Amino acid sequence: MPRIPVQDLKEGMVLNDDVKDKKGRLLLPKDNTITLKHIRTFKTWGVTMVSVGIAGAEDIDGDAYEVDEAVIKSIKEDLDKNFKHNNLEHPFVNQLYNICLQRTVVKKSRGEI
């Protein structure tokens, strides 16, 4: 299931993974349905991305963030050019790369780029 930015969360989405703050404290365990209060809590504690599904996905278009593998490969090639002078094994740089990849995939799936 997709990892999406907290600002894109909607009520009714279901967590696929535990949500923890920057220090590793559990904020909300997986399989919980997200409410507006949860979204505010995530923002307050600095959570930027969460892994979610959508309750009743068979009735709702839950594939909003699904992108073809060829497109993801193309996005990775572009990012690799931008990060070519960086050490991707460094935890900070690796996390930044992953955030850029996730945000680009989300924007691409929405048709924003």
- The reply to whether 50 and 89 lie within a common domain is no
| Domain membership flag for residue 14 | yes
| Domain membership flag for residue 95 | yes
| Domain membership flag for residue 13 | yes
- pLDDT in single tens digits along all 113 residues of the chain: 467 888 888 888 888 889 998 888 999 999 899 999 999 999 999 898 898 875 443 333 344 556 678 888 899 999 999 999 999 888 888 888 888 888 888 888 888 88
Give how many domains the chain has, as a whole number: 2
- Whole-structure pTM value: 0.48
To the nearest 10°, report the CA torsion of 70, 73, 78, 81.
-150
- The reply to whether 7 and 46 lie within a common domain is yes
| Domain membership flag for residue 36 | yes
pLDDT tens digits, 54-69: 544 333 334 455 667 8
Full residue range of the structural domain in which residue 106 is found: 69-110
| Domain membership flag for residue 60 | no
